[in-house]
Amino acid sequence: MPPLLLRSPAPPSSGVLCRRRKSIRVRASWQELAGVLVFSAVPFTAVKAIANSPLGASLRRRLESRKAFAAAKADALRAAAREARSSSFWYGGARPRWLGPLRYDYPEHLAGEFPGDYGFDIAGLGRDPVAFANYFNFEILHCRWAMLAALGVVVPELLDLFGIVHFVEPVWWKVGYAKLQVKYQYQPCLSSFSTQYDCSCYRPEEDMSI
C-alpha cells in the first residue's frame, strides 16, 4: 500500500493573522563584552604566569618544606574532631533522627559520623563508602561555588551603585529575564490549518528588546 500523503489546500483569500516569533537580538556594550573577556581570562593567565615564574618555584619549595608540619597539624585536628564528635549531642548513635521518636529501621551505614546525619538515606546512596566520600566532597565543592555565586550577585550591583563600573543591567535576575524576552509581530498566516494555538492576536505590552 503506498504511503498516505497529506496535501494542504490552497490558502484562503482572507488572510489570518498569525503570531510568529522573531529571532532574539541581544545588544551589549563593548565595556560589558570586554569585562567578560578580561575577568574570564585574567585568573587563569595570572595563575599560569605565577606558576612558571621564579616566585612560583619559591612558593613550591616553601610548601614542600612545610608539608610535614602541615601533615602533623592535620592529624592533631582530626583527633580533636573525633573527640568533639564523641562528646557532641549531634553525633553518634543517640543523635536526633529525621523521624524523631517514631520507630524506623534506619540504615546501618549511617552511624552519625558526619555532620547533618539524621539517618535519612531511603535511596541507599551512602552504602558504598567510596561513593559516599565522593558525594561528601562534591557537596562541599557545590557549597563553595554557591558562596562565590552569592558574591557575584552582590558585587556588580555595588560596582554600579558606587559608579566604579557601569553595567547595562547590574541586577542579576533582571539580566536573565531581559535576555529571555522575545518580540512578536503580526504576519499573514499562509497555512489553512492555522488554529487558535498558532494564530492569535498576541500583542506584547512593551518592546523588551535589549
Round to whole Å and give the CA distance between 104 and 12.
Answer: 69
| Residue 117 CB neighbour total at 10 angstroms | 19
Measure the N-to-C terminal CA separation of the chain; round to a whole number of Å.
54
Task: Return binding residues.
Answer: 139, 142, 144
Task: Return binding residues for chlorophyll b.
Answer: 144
Nearest to residue 92, comparing CAs of 101, 82, 100? 82
CB 186 within 8 A of CB 1: no
Q: Over the Cα atoms of the chain, what is R_g?
A: 30
Place of cell 551603585: 161
Nearest to residue 191, comparing CAs of 35, 16, 2? 16
Q: Which three cell numbers stand for residue 201?
A: 492576536
Nearest to residue 117, comparing CAs of 101, 134, 138, 132? 132
Task: Return binding residues for chlorophyll a.
Answer: 139, 142
Report helix, strand or coil for 78: helix
Round to whole Å and give the CA distance between 88 and 117.
Answer: 13
